[in-house]
Protein backbone atom coordinates (compact mmCIF):
# COMPACT_ATOMS: atom_id res chain seq x y z
CA UNK A 1 0.00 0.00 0.00
CA UNK A 2 2.80 2.37 0.94
CA UNK A 3 4.56 1.54 -2.32
CA UNK A 4 1.36 2.25 -4.21
CA UNK A 5 1.03 5.63 -2.55
CA UNK A 6 4.65 6.39 -3.41
CA UNK A 7 4.08 5.46 -7.03
CA UNK A 8 0.95 7.60 -7.12
CA UNK A 9 2.85 10.47 -5.56
CA UNK A 10 5.69 10.31 -8.04
CA UNK A 11 3.22 10.00 -10.91
CA UNK A 12 1.58 13.10 -9.56
CA UNK A 13 4.89 14.93 -9.45
CA UNK A 14 5.60 13.89 -13.03
CA UNK A 15 2.18 15.18 -14.01
CA UNK A 16 2.80 18.50 -12.33
CA UNK A 17 6.45 19.15 -13.04
CA UNK A 18 7.70 16.46 -15.39
CA UNK A 19 6.21 18.14 -18.41
CA UNK A 20 7.97 21.41 -17.83
CA UNK A 21 10.60 21.92 -20.41
CA UNK A 22 12.68 23.60 -17.72
CA UNK A 23 14.40 25.85 -20.20
CA UNK A 24 15.33 29.41 -19.35
CA UNK A 25 13.16 32.12 -20.88
CA UNK A 26 14.19 33.63 -24.17
CA UNK A 27 15.78 37.03 -23.58
CA UNK A 28 16.57 39.73 -26.11
CA UNK A 29 16.83 43.47 -26.41
CA UNK A 30 13.43 43.63 -28.07
CA UNK A 31 10.89 45.84 -26.31
CA UNK A 32 7.52 44.66 -25.13
CA UNK A 33 4.81 46.92 -26.57
CA UNK A 34 1.12 47.30 -25.91
CA UNK A 35 -1.51 46.50 -28.51
CA UNK A 36 -1.35 49.98 -29.99
CA UNK A 37 2.43 49.57 -30.41
CA UNK A 38 3.18 51.93 -27.54
CA UNK A 39 6.07 51.47 -25.15
CA UNK A 40 5.11 49.81 -21.90
CA UNK A 41 6.14 51.14 -18.53
CA UNK A 42 6.58 49.35 -15.21
CA UNK A 43 3.96 49.81 -12.49
CA UNK A 44 1.44 51.16 -15.01
CA UNK A 45 -1.92 49.37 -15.27
CA UNK A 46 -2.50 47.26 -18.39
CA UNK A 47 -5.21 44.82 -19.36
CA UNK A 48 -4.08 41.41 -20.45
CA UNK A 49 -6.33 40.05 -23.21
CA UNK A 50 -6.14 36.73 -25.07
CA UNK A 51 -4.98 36.79 -28.67
CA UNK A 52 -7.68 34.39 -29.77
CA UNK A 53 -10.91 36.11 -28.77
CA UNK A 54 -12.88 33.59 -30.76
CA UNK A 55 -11.97 30.97 -28.15
CA UNK A 56 -13.61 32.98 -25.38
CA UNK A 57 -11.85 36.17 -24.76
CA UNK A 58 -12.12 38.35 -21.71
CA UNK A 59 -9.50 39.69 -19.36
CA UNK A 60 -8.26 38.58 -15.98
CA UNK A 61 -10.22 38.29 -12.77
CA UNK A 62 -9.79 36.70 -9.34
CA UNK A 63 -11.96 33.87 -8.03
CA UNK A 64 -12.13 31.96 -4.79
CA UNK A 65 -11.11 28.29 -5.05
CA UNK A 66 -10.43 25.45 -2.64
CA UNK A 67 -10.27 26.51 0.99
CA UNK A 68 -9.15 30.05 0.25
CA UNK A 69 -10.90 32.73 2.26
CA UNK A 70 -10.49 35.38 -0.44
CA UNK A 71 -10.46 35.36 -4.25
CA UNK A 72 -6.83 34.41 -4.86
CA UNK A 73 -6.99 32.36 -8.07
CA UNK A 74 -6.41 33.98 -11.47
CA UNK A 75 -9.02 33.33 -14.11
CA UNK A 76 -9.08 34.46 -17.73
CA UNK A 77 -12.78 34.68 -18.09
CA UNK A 78 -15.02 34.21 -21.04
CA UNK A 79 -17.21 37.24 -21.78
CA UNK A 80 -15.64 38.91 -24.83
CA UNK A 81 -14.83 42.60 -24.64
CA UNK A 82 -14.70 42.48 -20.88
CA UNK A 83 -11.30 43.77 -19.90
CA UNK A 84 -11.44 42.51 -16.32
CA UNK A 85 -8.86 43.70 -13.80
CA UNK A 86 -5.66 45.49 -14.78
CA UNK A 87 -2.26 44.07 -13.95
CA UNK A 88 0.95 45.89 -13.10
CA UNK A 89 4.40 44.70 -14.15
CA UNK A 90 7.41 45.40 -11.95
CA UNK A 91 11.05 44.98 -12.89
CA UNK A 92 13.87 44.30 -10.47
CA UNK A 93 16.49 46.40 -12.18
CA UNK A 94 15.37 49.79 -10.98
CA UNK A 95 17.32 51.66 -13.66
CA UNK A 96 15.40 49.88 -16.41
CA UNK A 97 12.47 52.01 -17.40
CA UNK A 98 11.20 49.87 -20.24
CA UNK A 99 10.20 46.24 -20.43
CA UNK A 100 12.38 43.98 -22.55
CA UNK A 101 11.80 40.42 -23.65
CA UNK A 102 12.80 37.90 -21.00
CA UNK A 103 13.62 40.17 -18.07
CA UNK A 104 12.41 39.00 -14.64
CA UNK A 105 9.13 40.59 -13.63
CA UNK A 106 6.80 40.55 -10.69
CA UNK A 107 3.14 40.81 -11.65
CA UNK A 108 0.61 42.33 -9.29
CA UNK A 109 -3.11 42.86 -9.64
CA UNK A 110 -2.88 46.20 -7.86
CA UNK A 111 -0.13 48.42 -6.59
CA UNK A 112 -1.53 47.70 -3.15
CA UNK A 113 -2.05 45.92 -0.88
CA UNK A 114 1.30 44.44 -0.03
CA UNK A 115 2.65 43.98 -3.50
CA UNK A 116 6.34 43.25 -3.11
CA UNK A 117 7.97 45.53 -5.62
CA UNK A 118 11.32 46.42 -4.09
CA UNK A 119 12.98 43.18 -5.10
CA UNK A 120 11.28 41.20 -7.79
CA UNK A 121 13.67 38.27 -7.51
CA UNK A 122 13.11 37.83 -3.78
CA UNK A 123 10.52 35.14 -3.19
CA UNK A 124 7.38 35.75 -1.20
CA UNK A 125 8.16 34.60 2.33
CA UNK A 126 6.00 32.34 4.46
CA UNK A 127 4.82 35.29 6.46
CA UNK A 128 3.50 36.95 3.32
CA UNK A 129 0.33 38.92 3.53
CA UNK A 130 -2.54 36.69 2.35
CA UNK A 131 -3.93 39.77 0.68
CA UNK A 132 -0.84 40.39 -1.40
CA UNK A 133 -1.77 41.01 -5.00
CA UNK A 134 1.50 39.60 -6.35
CA UNK A 135 1.30 36.56 -8.59
CA UNK A 136 2.70 33.18 -7.50
CA UNK A 137 1.83 29.59 -8.39
CA UNK A 138 0.10 26.99 -6.24
CA UNK A 139 -0.50 23.29 -6.75
CA UNK A 140 -4.23 22.58 -6.86
CA UNK A 141 -4.44 18.89 -6.00
CA UNK A 142 -8.11 18.71 -6.97
CA UNK A 143 -7.33 19.32 -10.64
CA UNK A 144 -3.65 18.28 -10.58
CA UNK A 145 -2.51 21.55 -12.05
CA UNK A 146 -0.10 24.19 -10.91
CA UNK A 147 -2.17 27.35 -11.09
CA UNK A 148 -1.41 31.05 -10.99
CA UNK A 149 -2.81 32.89 -7.99
CA UNK A 150 -2.15 35.79 -5.67
CA UNK A 151 -1.44 36.13 -1.97
CA UNK A 152 1.17 34.41 0.16
CA UNK A 153 1.14 30.72 1.13
CA UNK A 154 -1.52 31.52 3.77
CA UNK A 155 -3.91 32.41 0.97
CA UNK A 156 -3.85 28.79 -0.26
CA UNK A 157 -4.45 26.69 2.83
CA UNK A 158 -3.25 23.09 2.57
CA UNK A 159 -1.63 23.63 -0.85
CA UNK A 160 1.97 23.96 -1.98
CA UNK A 161 2.86 27.43 -3.21
CA UNK A 162 5.95 28.55 -5.11
CA UNK A 163 7.09 32.06 -5.76
CA UNK A 164 9.17 33.04 -8.73
CA UNK A 165 9.49 35.48 -11.56
CA UNK A 166 7.48 36.01 -14.72
CA UNK A 167 9.05 36.67 -18.10
CA UNK A 168 7.49 37.78 -21.36
CA UNK A 169 8.42 36.11 -24.64
CA UNK A 170 7.58 37.61 -28.00
CA UNK A 171 5.52 35.50 -30.36
CA UNK A 172 6.90 35.98 -33.83
CA UNK A 173 5.29 39.03 -35.36
CA UNK A 174 2.07 38.60 -37.23
CA UNK A 175 1.50 41.75 -39.28
CA UNK A 176 -2.26 41.25 -39.21
CA UNK A 177 -2.47 41.17 -35.45
CA UNK A 178 -1.53 43.08 -32.35
CA UNK A 179 1.81 42.32 -30.72
CA UNK A 180 1.27 39.03 -28.97
CA UNK A 181 3.22 37.41 -26.22
CA UNK A 182 3.71 34.31 -24.13
CA UNK A 183 4.28 34.27 -20.41
CA UNK A 184 6.97 32.18 -18.67
CA UNK A 185 7.23 31.39 -14.97
CA UNK A 186 10.63 30.59 -13.39
CA UNK A 187 10.75 29.02 -9.93
CA UNK A 188 12.53 31.23 -7.38
CA UNK A 189 16.05 30.07 -6.57
CA UNK A 190 16.53 28.30 -9.89
CA UNK A 191 18.56 31.17 -11.35
CA UNK A 192 15.90 31.46 -14.08
CA UNK A 193 16.66 27.92 -15.28
CA UNK A 194 13.66 26.00 -14.00
CA UNK A 195 10.91 27.61 -16.04
CA UNK A 196 7.62 26.79 -17.67
CA UNK A 197 5.11 28.39 -19.99
CA UNK A 198 1.83 29.69 -18.65
CA UNK A 199 -1.10 28.03 -20.38
CA UNK A 200 -4.79 27.80 -19.66
CA UNK A 201 -7.12 25.16 -18.24
CA UNK A 202 -10.92 25.20 -18.30
CA UNK A 203 -12.20 23.86 -15.01
CA UNK A 204 -15.82 24.91 -15.62
CA UNK A 205 -15.52 28.15 -13.69
CA UNK A 206 -16.72 30.51 -16.41
CA UNK A 207 -13.20 31.02 -17.70
CA UNK A 208 -9.80 29.43 -17.77
CA UNK A 209 -7.27 29.15 -15.02
CA UNK A 210 -3.74 30.14 -15.82
CA UNK A 211 -1.56 27.08 -15.24
CA UNK A 212 1.99 25.89 -15.83
CA UNK A 213 2.31 23.97 -19.06
CA UNK A 214 4.88 22.91 -21.62
CA UNK A 215 2.53 22.90 -24.56
CA UNK A 216 -0.03 25.45 -25.75
CA UNK A 217 1.15 28.62 -24.08
CA UNK A 218 -1.47 31.28 -23.51
CA UNK A 219 -1.09 33.97 -26.20
CA UNK A 220 -2.09 37.47 -25.21
CA UNK A 221 -1.69 41.20 -25.81
CA UNK A 222 -1.41 44.13 -23.45
CA UNK A 223 -3.91 46.97 -23.61
CA UNK A 224 -3.04 50.32 -22.17
CA UNK A 225 -5.71 51.99 -20.09
CA UNK A 226 -6.52 55.52 -21.09
CA UNK A 227 -8.47 57.88 -18.92
CA UNK A 228 -10.99 59.85 -20.96
CA UNK A 229 -11.43 63.48 -20.14
CA UNK A 230 -14.94 62.73 -18.90
CA UNK A 231 -13.42 60.44 -16.27
CA UNK A 232 -14.50 57.14 -17.82
CA UNK A 233 -11.81 54.59 -18.48
CA UNK A 234 -11.30 53.05 -21.86
CA UNK A 235 -8.70 50.90 -23.46
CA UNK A 236 -7.26 51.39 -26.91
CA UNK A 237 -5.49 48.82 -28.98
Residues lying near ligand NAG in the complex (CB under 6 A)? 17, 22, 45, 66-67, 129-131, 157-159, 162, 187, 194, 225, 227, 233
Please state the closest distance from residue 210 (CB atom) to ligand NAG, in A.
Answer: 17
Indicate the residue among 38 and 157 with the shorter CB distance to ligand NAG: 157
Shortest spacing between CB 193 and ligand NAG, in angstroms: 8
Q: Minimum distance between the CB of residue 56 and ligand NAG, rounded to whole angstroms?
A: 25
- Residue number, 67 or 95, with CB nearest to ligand NAG: 67
Name the residue nearer to ligand NAG (CB basis): 194 or 213.
Answer: 194
With respect to ligand NAG, which residue has the nearer C-beta, 56 or 66? Answer: 66
Minimum Å distance from CB 183 to ligand NAG? 17
What is the C-alpha to C-alpha distance for residues 131 and 60, in angstroms, rounded to an integer?
17
Give the residue with the Cβ less far from ligand NAG, 16 or 170: 16
Minimum distance between the CB of residue 80 and ligand NAG, rounded to whole angstroms? 21
Amino acid sequence: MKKFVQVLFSLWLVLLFGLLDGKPPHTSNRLIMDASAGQMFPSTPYYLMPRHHELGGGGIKLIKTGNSTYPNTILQYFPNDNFGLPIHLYISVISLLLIFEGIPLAICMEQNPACVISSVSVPIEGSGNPNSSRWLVFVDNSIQKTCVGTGGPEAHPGLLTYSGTFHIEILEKDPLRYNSYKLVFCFAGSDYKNCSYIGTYDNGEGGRRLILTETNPFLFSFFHIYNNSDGTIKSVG
